[in-house]
Structures are given as C-alpha cells and as structure tokens.
Amino acid sequence: MSQKNNKILSLFISLVAFFIFVFFTTNIYSGLQVNLDSNTTKSKELDKAKEKLIRLNKIETDYKDKNNLDSKKIKKFASDFSEDQMLLYINDYIKGQNLVKRDNLFLENITFSDIKKSELGFKEIDISLKMIISSQDSLIDLLNYLTNSDNKYSFFITELSFPIEKSWPYKISIPLKMYVN
C-alpha cells in the first residue's frame, strides 16, 4: 500500500504541478500577447508621428526659406501689427498716387479696433479708412492696392458702398480686415 500511496501522492503532486504550470503560463502567454498587440499599436502610432514630424519639419524649412512663395504668403499673416507702420504704409500710397496721377486722395480718418480672435482661431484687427476720393479710377486703384497679394500687408474688404448719384469726389468709408500675429 505504501507504493500505491506513493503513486497516488506522486500523481496528485504531478496534477497540482501541472495546474500550477498551466495557470502561470496561461497568464504569461496572455500577458505576452497583450504586450505584443500593444507594441504593434504603439509602433503604428510611432510611424504616424514620425511621418507627421517629417511633414512639419518640411513646413518649417519651407517657412524659413525666403525664396519660397508659400513662405512669403504665410509671413504676411504672421507679421506683427503696428498702427504707426500701417499709417505710414497707407500714407505712402496716397502720397505716391497724388504725385504720379495728380489725383486727390485724402485720408480723413483711420481707426483700428482691438486685436480679437476670429471664429477660425486667427487674430484679426478691423481697420476703417475714411477717405475723400476724386475719381472712380483712383478708387479702383486703391482697392486693388489694398487687396493685392504681392503687397507687404494683406487686407480683406468686408463691405463697400457709396452713393453714385452725385459726381466725384466721394467721401468713402472702407472697412478692412487684417489677420495678424
């Protein structure tokens, strides 16, 4: 009986050892599988992040390149705003036009709003020009100048109206919007 008891005890110990082995290795295997899946997911995320970094680095180098056309366009909207510089910019145009064309452009008043955030998240400022303009051609030239994409500053004309019943010159209010840094 002792040998029979030893066999039963040995079988029992073997079964307990087998269940312990299965219990621990199952947890290790499932943990390993979770880690492998997590590693695959993280590797894909890392690859996407590297691609995004490459694109952002390209944008940065393009932005720093002074000859890049897109860089020039972006820098106009990323420039700092100064009321003094803006007044000089507009007055220089008016002086030049009055000398070259012998037109009578007069800036009566210019007002600047506070810088605010637009609904798209950009910083913007509203500028209102009150001018006396002597001819239709002068008005068209001024509007083309203000909205020309090659100029130092880019403006958006939000609305423009003036009476056309009487003859020139007109007092015209030109509301402008400008995006700034």
| Whole-number pLDDT of residue 43 | 93
How far apart, in Å, are the Cα atoms of 124 and each of 77, 88, 147, 159? Answer: 10, 20, 16, 16
Q: Are 104 and 143 members of one domain?
A: yes
CATH of the domain at 155: 3.30.70.60
- At 155, give phi and psi (nearest 5°): -120, 155
Domain hosting residue 31, numbered range: 1-64
Contact 141, 94 (CB under 8 A): no
Residues facing residue 156 across a β-bridge: 177
Give the pLDDT confidence of 50-62 residue by residue, as tens digits. 999 999 888 788 7
> How far is 64 from 71, CA to CA, in rounded Å?
7
**Quick count: other Cβ atoms within 10 Å of Cβ 86?**
18
For the whole model, what pTM was predicted? 0.58
The answer to the question of residue 77 being in a domain is no
Answer yes or no: is 75 within a domain.
Answer: no
Q: What is the pLDDT of residues 112-159, one digit of tens each?
A: 888 888 777 778 888 888 988 887 788 888 888 888 877 778 788 888
Query: Would the pLDDT of 170 be above 90?
Result: no
pLDDT, position 73: 67
Least confident piece of the model among 24-38, 71-85, 123-137, 153-167: 71-85
User: Is position 51 within any domain?
Assistant: yes
Both tokens of residue 48? 């996407």
More confident residue, 46 or 160: 46
Question: Residue 127 burial by CB count (10 A; 0-12/13-18/19+): exposed, middle or buried?
Answer: buried
Of 22-26, 75-79, 97-101, which has the strongest mean pLDDT? 97-101
Q: Does residue 169 have a cis peptide bond before it, meaning omega lies within 30 degrees of 0?
A: yes
Whether residue 130 is found in the same domain as residue 59:
no
Per the CB < 8 A criterion, the answer to whether 174 and 128 are in contact is: yes
**Residue that is written with structure tokens 């002074």 in the block:** 66
- Do 144 and 87 share a domain, yes or no? yes
